[in-house]
Structure 1
Amino acid sequence: MIELQNIQKYFGENHVLKGVSVTVPAGGVTALIGASGSGKSTLLRCTNMLEVPQSGTIQIGDAAVTLAAGRKPGRDEILRLRRKTGMVFQNFQLFPHLTAVENVMEGLVTVQGWPRERARARAMELLEKVGMTVKAEAWPASLSGGQQQRVAIARALATSPEVLLCDEPTSALDPQLAGEVVEVLAQLAREGTTMLMATHDLRLAASIASNVVFLANGEVVEAGEARQVFGSPSDERTRTFISSLTAQYQTAL
C-alpha cells in the first residue's frame, strides 16, 4: 500500500502540489488523471523521491519518509523507499548499448549483485511475461515503441518491487502500439500488482484502474472507485475533463 500525506512541492515560486493526500490500496491500480500541468507526474515522481517534496509523508509498505522545513531525508531512507518501487517511464529509457535481455538484467547484476546466469534466467522469465522472449537479443533501436515499453516494464519488475509506478506509459505511442502496453499492464493488474500511474490515456485508465484520482492545479478534486469517477463524477471539473478525454479518444479511433 502507498500512503501520500499532505505532499507539498514547489519548483521555485511555482506551487505544483498543494497538500496532496492519496492512498493506493495494495493489489489495486490507482490512476492519476488531470490536464497537463495538474501535478500528476510530479506526484508520481515524489512517490519514489525522484522529486523531493518540501513537506509531507510518503509511505510504501513498512518504509516511510517524512519531510519538513529544515529536514532533508537521509540517503538510506530514500534508498529503502525506492527499493519498494519499480518505475516505467514515458520515453522507455532503455540503455541503447544493451540488448533487451541485458536491459532487464542490468539492475539485478549491478545493484543487487546477482550472478549473470541467475539474472539472465530471471530476465527471460519476465520477457516471457510481457511477450518479448523472441526479441531478447535485439537492440532497443530495432524495437518498436510498444516493444521497448514492454521491455521497460519487464525491467521495472525485475527486482520484484512492491509497487509499480508508471509515468504516462502509453503517451509516446500511437494507438495500436499503446494497445500492446495496455494489454500487458492489464494482465499485471489481474495478477494483483499494485500500481500507481499518471496517465491521460482513457482506455488505459478505464480498463485497468480500480481507483481514480483527478488532479487540477496541484490539488485533488475528486477521488474514488473508477466506475464512480468515470461513470458518475460528482465535480463539474471532473465531468468536463472526462468528456474532453472521451472526445479525444473517439477522434483518435
Structure 2
Amino acid sequence: MTATQVIRSEWTKIRSVASTVWTLSLAVVVTIALGMLISALSDKGFDSMSERDRLSFDPTYISFAGMSLGQLAMIVFGVLVVSNEYSTGMIRTSLAAVPQRGTFLFSKLAVATGLALAVSMVTSFAAFFLGQAMLGSRQVSIGDPHVLRAVVGGGLYMTLITVFSMGVAAMLRSPMLSLGILMPFFFLISNILGNVDATKKVGRYLPDQAGSRIMRVVTPVADDTPYGPWGGLAIMVLWTAAALAGGYALLRKRDA
C-alpha cells in the first residue's frame, strides 16, 4: 500500500469508531464550560483577592482553566487511537496489510494529530472568547500583547498532550495500562511535584508543567522559572518526540 492509501485507511478507522467523536466532543465541552465557569467566578471574586493574587491575575490564562480536565479526554483519544487495535487483535491484520511499520505508525499519528490539532485550535479560541465574555471589565482582547500567542499555544498544548499519549500507548500497547500510567502522571504526580517546594525544580520540567507556560500572558509574582513560554513548549515537544521515538523503536522490535 502507498502512504496515501495507508493514511486514508487510518482516517477510516478513526472516524468509524464512536469513541473518537465522544472523546473529542467531551474535550471541547468540558474545556469551554469549565473555563467560562472559572472566569465568571474569578470576576466575582476579584475584589476579595489578595494584592499578590491581583498582581498575578491573568485573564487569558483563566479562560483556559478547563483544559486541566479537557486534556483528560484528549489523553483518552490519543491512547485509544493507537492501542484499540492491540486490544481487539486487529493489529495483526493491519501489519499484514502494511508491513512497513514506520509507515503504519506515522500514518496513524499524522491523521490523529491533524484531527487533534483542528479540534484543539477551535476549542482554544472558543474557550478564550467565551471566557473573556465572563470576565466583564477585566477581559482582554485577542489583539493585546502576547494574547494571540497564548491562544494559539493553548491549541498546540492540547495537541501535544494527545501526541505524547499516542507515543506512550505505542510503547505500552494496552489501553488500560497506558491510561493507568498517564492519568496519575498528569493529574496527581505532576501536580504534587510542581507544588511541593522540594520538588518544584523537577516538576517544572514535566511536559504539562512546561507546556502550559505557553498559555500565560502574566508572569506570576516571584516566579523564577528559568524558561519562557516558547521554551516551555520546546520542552514539551522534546518529551513528545521521546515518547514517539520509543513507540516506534518498540513497534519495530516486537511481534504484533
Tell me if TM exceeds 0.5: no
When normalised by structure 2's length, the TM-score is: 0.25
When normalised by structure 1's length, the TM-score is: 0.25
Rg (Cα) greater in structure: 2
